Amino acid sequence: MLAEQRARAILEQIAQHQTVSVTDLCQATGASEATIRRDLNALARQGRLVKIHGGATSLEEEEFLAREPDLATKQRYAREKERIARYAASLVGDDDVVYLDTGTTVLHMASHLKDSKALFVTSSIDFAGMLSAFERRVYILGGALKPGTVDIVGAEALNAIRRYNFTKVFLGTSGVSLSQGFTTPDPEAAALKALAAAQAQSVYMLADSSKFGRVTAAAILPLDGAQIITDRLPDRKYLDSTNVIAV
């Protein structure tokens, strides 16, 4: 079977079953695993499918968000965010060195950390103030204030975070997508999140269920770069790419 014929056959299988394994595609086309994997890589680059571990899945319907959500939008799903934050806080041990990102869901963690003996580092002035009021050990990154917020971004913040090694990192995200991974509208914020993740033993992305199927301008990490803590998993396809904890 020629490459063009295999491509048609692969796309037909995905259209019929939504998600298919490499083994299934080998049986359908008579091609070897190595050939099918090359075909999947090529079709993924063309934007015709999403390659996942052990196979491929159809392109999901994704909503692209060009701008940062307004405050009213960010304050939605308050009960869901509180559940996510409470569970995330329960993962923090007294011997941990923890990076706490900006964002409303991560900010909900503060009230659940008032008795923690962990060492905290954050880029959120709000978060630092809350933890300091609880007399927790907290360091805030230096850098530029993001316009319209009390969050730290920029080159100085990137340089500062390189001085730390974290046992756990908790990040916020504006979008969770099979094809684009975790995204946020602000490239400077995305760079800081990605570097924090690179300095960590364990990375957790806090995302309520409304964030799934959304894409924003700046990539943070691929899906396999962090475990997701959410209130509800809208599509089990995400389990092929990372661990998802629904609370």
pLDDT the model gives residue 70: 58
Is 2.40.160.100 the CATH number for 65-246? no
pLDDT the model gives residue 157: 97
Q: Tell me which DSSP letter residue 68 carries.
A: P
Averaged confidence pLDDT in the chain: 90
- Do the domains 65-246 and 3-59 match in fold? no
pLDDT the model gives residue 19: 80
Partners of 175 in the beta sheet? 183
Rounded Cα gap, residues 215 and 180, in angstroms? 7
Its pTM surpasses 0.85? no
pLDDT the model gives residue 47: 73
- Max CA separation in the chain (angstroms): 68
The runs of H, that is alpha helices, within the chain are 3-17, 22-29, 33-45, 71-74, 78-90, 104-107, 125-133, 155-161, 187-198
pLDDT 10s digits, 62-94: 667 766 665 555 666 899 999 999 999 999 999
Contacts of 46 (CB under 8 A, 6+ apart): none
Sign of the alpha-carbon dihedral angle for 60, 63, 64, 70: negative
229: exposed, middle or buried (C-beta count within 10 Å: 0-12, 13-18, 19+)? buried
Task: Quote the percentage of the chain above a pLDDT of 90.
Answer: 67
Options 1.10.150.120, 1.10.260.40, 1.10.3720.10, 1.10.10.10; CATH for 3-59 is 1.10.10.10
Q: How do beta strands 144-145 and 214-216 pair?
A: unpaired
Q: Give the Å distances, CA to CA, from 170 to 36, 59, 96, 147.
A: 37, 28, 12, 22
Query: Domain locations in the chain?
Result: 3-59, 65-246
pLDDT the model gives residue 68: 64
